[in-house]
Structure 1
Amino acid sequence: MSIAEIKNKERVINELLRFIRKVLVEPDISETALEIARKHVNDKNAAVLIADELSSTTNVKIPVEHSDADRLFLELLIDVVRDEKALY
């Protein structure tokens, strides 16, 4: 593994840690994110729609150019909602 790959993984981990801290301080973000994901999970470009609405309604800001950590978070959010729907 190259130094650049290691640095990128460290950056992604640090970004995710900052996000997790934000969610722990403001637990309402989690429920809001899930509600938004439920609304857009089946839409074309669901990740973009979720990111845009989450950025406009919470203090979680996901830029137009999604980072690796942003993509991981959005994929996880979509997976959680799909798993939720599979249970019913």
Structure 2
Amino acid sequence: DVNVYNKIFEAVEKVPGANNPHRVRSRMIGNLYMITLDIEVNPQITITQAHEIADAVEKSIINSVDNVYDILVHVEPAGGCQTGEKFGVDKDMV
């Protein structure tokens, strides 16, 4: 459902410090969503700060998408996004 992906991208955009959501994957487990995605953060921040941003992304998605079972946010340093990644959806794909 393209609407779910749009909601995920919008939810990430609301979180300060979370950039370039990519490799977004949404799967249904029964009637619940399992969501995984990568985000980029400033490479100069601490692991604790990156973790706080990832937690805020999870909360923002939960507040934006109904029926979420679980969310996995993978954090990368800004500029570390690999082009031509095989799996997932990027914002320009929806």
Fold conserved (TM > 0.5)? no
TM-score, L = length of structure 2: 0.29
TM-score by length of 1: 0.30
Identify, as 1 or 2, the structure richer in strand: 2
Higher helix share: 1
